[in-house]
Amino acid sequence: MIRLENIGKQNGKQLVFIEASATLQKGEKVGLVGPNGAGKTTLFRMITGQEAPDEGQVGVDRGITIGYFSQDVGDMAGRSAVTEVMDGAGPVSAVAAELKELETAMADPDRADEMDEIITRYGEVQGRFEELDGYAMDGRAREVLAGLGFSQEMMDGDVGALSGGWKMRVALARILLMRPDAMLLDEPSNHLDLESLIWLEEFLKGYDGALLMTSHDREFMNRIVNKIVEIDAGALTSYSGDYEFYQQQRALAEKQQQAQFERQQAMLAKEIAFIERFKARASHAAQVQSRVKKLDKIDRVEPPKRRQTIQFEFQPAPRSGEDIVTLKNVHKRYGSRTIYEGLDFQVRRKERWCIMGVNGAGKSTLLKLIAGTADPDEGTVAVGGTVKMGYFAQHAMEQLDGDATVFQSLEDSFPQAGQGSLRALAGCFGFSGDDVEKRCRVLSGGEKARLVMAKMLYDPPNFLVLDEPTNHLDIATKEMLITALAQYEGTMLFVSHDRHFLAALSNRVLELTPEGIHAYGGGYTEYVARTGQEAPGLRS
């Protein structure tokens, strides 16, 4: 269906692709992987014709429809979410919009004298809407939006009033409703909560077209893809199987290449030693010449490219008392909406609670109450006297000084620390070389999250309160964070939609549901086994 043949592409001074080739066949579900900046978005843009390769060609079979979801959703305003989603399905959305206008006009007393024309036109437009299967389309659009977490009110409200994350979901719903022959999805799992993520997973498993996607969520990728295409140093390499299998195959290939490289180096050293030893002796001249020629003809084996693996080790956190935080009879309302009514909850030393609950259940509110950034309407929140808390929330990223560089930001937080120590810290969190001189205002969401995390973990608290800490983080940084937090000696309370993170780090689960609050001993894996669901409100 889609072929990339000997692609060459340069962006500025960076060579992105060098004679790279890959194919996407009907029914294939492909995960596109590679380090940040490797060229994943450039590849999508070349397939959709938004950019052209410098060399080689991109071939797309005649008549193939392509749906492309990118993180850049553009401006959306003035229409309902449903209309915006149906817009991806072609002319039906324009007919739906006119139908809505005519319904408004029929209810307008100031237009009574035009009523005959309005009613006649309404009949014509309604007929056209039925011809285009508009009512079924409207139902399907609502089904997709509901799967992505929209309430009926949000579906019919102005899309312009939604946050950036919800607009992303509208843009994604548009592609899903369209059901093109090939879907290109750039980070579709960003901005989704766990329930929506699991719904999307099921949707994509049942989709029979070709799929090419990137995702920083390895569990999501594992469950959907049957092939991996890796971008590395300008080349495209295909691996059949899921992400887990790709990691094993890649490690095996690297091991084999390293062994081959070492064998060849040993052989070369032996040959060079012979040449050096006997080059001055006339009696060995023929042998020396023969070996020099042999060396010139040998294809040199390259050593495997060393992946930059990020590792971060915690300084030991000061020990806390046994009681970390205690909530007694806590009530919390926002306007007419009751979030908590008489909540009792206690966190003790070394517990690692993950908080589960559908959108609006009060997960972030609980974290804010414990962190002291929100107050209960009634009841008490008592934090232990020896508790040193670190609170990571999405708004923390907005509080970075935009004019400061990454390095200055770290220096301001830790004026006593040495330059070498801070550079090592920056490197652990993915800021190497000139990256430390970037100003905070130009950082991406992922870079800001990494910087805030670095500042919080350098001088570690003994109680970590984390609200979606893995949002925006790539797979390598997530792995580093999970490895580091697994060795962390303190107490944790966190919300995350990343199932790998949840399973690796939790030893308690607090589930917030409309029916009540349930606490489970054992971590996320035990919770799934015991309840038969991966998230509240979903049955597997």
Q: pLDDT tens digits, the chain, 540 residues: what are they?
A: 899 999 999 888 778 899 999 999 999 999 999 877 788 889 999 999 999 999 999 999 988 889 999 877 777 778 889 988 888 766 676 777 788 788 888 888 888 888 888 899 888 888 887 877 777 888 889 999 999 999 999 999 998 888 888 899 999 999 999 888 999 999 998 888 899 999 999 999 999 999 999 998 989 999 999 999 999 888 899 999 999 999 888 889 888 888 988 998 998 888 888 888 888 887 788 888 888 888 888 888 888 776 665 666 768 888 999 999 999 999 999 888 889 999 999 999 999 999 998 877 889 999 999 999 999 999 999 999 899 999 998 777 778 888 999 999 999 999 988 888 888 888 888 888 888 999 998 887 778 888 998 888 888 899 999 999 888 788 888 888 898 899 888 999 999 999 999 999 999 999 998 888 999 999 999 999 998 989 887 654
The C-alpha angle with vertex 321 and arms to 316 and 322, in degrees rounded to 5, equals 110
Report CA dihedral (178, 181, 182, 185) to the nearest 10 degrees: 20
Give kind and range of the element (H or E) at residue 10: strand 2-11
Length of the chain: 540
Query: Which two tokens mark 404?
Result: 């400061």
pLDDT for residue 113: 86
CA 23 – CA 6 distance, rounded (Å): 11
Question: Which residue has 């801070």 as its token pair?
Answer: 422
**Could you tell me whether strands 378-383 and 323-334 are parallel, antiparallel, or unpaired per DSSP bridges?**
antiparallel
By C-alpha distance, which of 151, 534, 198 is closest to 360?
151
Question: Which residue has 């001074």 as its token pair?
Answer: 13
Dihedral sign for Cα atoms in the order 237, 483, 364, 315: negative
pLDDT for residue 540: 43
Q: Kindly give, in sequence order, each residue whose CB lies less than 8 Å from that of residue 422, ignoring residues fewer than 6 positions away.
A: 407, 410, 411, 414
By C-alpha distance, which of 378, 355, 375 is closest to 512?
355
Q: How many CB atoms lie within 10 A of CB 310?
A: 18
First CA to last CA distance, the chain = 34
CA 447 from centroid of its chain's CA atoms: 13
**CA–CA distances in Å: residue 159 to residues 31, 70, 166, 168, 516:** 30, 18, 9, 11, 32
pLDDT for residue 443: 85
Residue 332 exposed, middle or buried by CB count within 10 Å (0-12, 13-18, 19+): buried
Helical H runs in 283-362? 285-297
Q: How many CB atoms lie within 10 A of CB 441?
A: 11
- Cross-strand pairs, 232: 235
pLDDT for residue 318: 86
Query: Which two tokens mark 468?
Result: 């979606």
- Cross-strand pairs, 229: 32, 238
pLDDT for residue 307: 61
pLDDT for residue 13: 78
The C-alpha angle with vertex 428 and arms to 498 and 219, in degrees rounded to 5, equals 20
By C-alpha distance, which of 149, 7, 157, 1 is closest to 64?
1
pLDDT for residue 93: 66
CA 261 – CA 360 distance, rounded (Å): 56
Q: Are 444 and 427 contacting, i.e. CB atoms less than 8 angstroms apart?
A: no
- Classify each residue of 263-302 as buried b or exposed e, where b means 16 or more C-beta atoms within 10 Å of its C-beta: eeeeeeeeeeeebeeeeeeeeeeeebeebeeeeeeeeebe
CA 310 – CA 306 distance, rounded (Å): 12
- Cross-strand pairs, 68: 184
